Structure 1
Amino acid sequence: MANKVENIYTDIISSLPPTERLQLATLILNGLAKQQMDREINFVDDSDVWTREDEEDLALFAFQQGVTDLSQEED
């Protein structure tokens, strides 16, 4: 893989003028940054979604906590 990349650089990229090499570098880096942001956004979005089971677990916990609090008040 590294050899292939080096060949591309040697055969194609190194012959480009500096401004075009900078443009290419910018395109590559922007593409990588966008790809990383897309992954992070998808991760955050997925973690914000509550399933029906999550909602039921929360309701059950709240109910149990309420029962515990009421029984402690009676003692």
Structure 2
Amino acid sequence: MSSYVKNIKLEPFGHQFFVMPTTAQEVYNQVVCHLSSGEHLRLATIILNELIGQQQPPSLDQSDTWTEEDQIDLVNFSLNYAAKTFCDVEGI
């Protein structure tokens, strides 16, 4: 039995039934691929706008305190920058 047959979903439509695609690939193959490029873009915009609306805003740590990891990162960056900048200077 093919995966297409496994994913069949029948929906009533009046006195008849029609096959509803049940996977994103099936929706694309049966509906989306037949749309014009402009309609593809409109559909993508609708989907992305919906996803953006569902997302929770990221929680940012806006505290003014530096963690030990922040301090180590700053020291490492500073030492690397100094080594690259002053590697050609004599007497250092």
With structure 1 as the length reference, what TM-score do the two structures score? 0.45
Which structure has more helix as a fraction of its residues?
1
With structure 2 as the length reference, what TM-score do the two structures score? 0.37
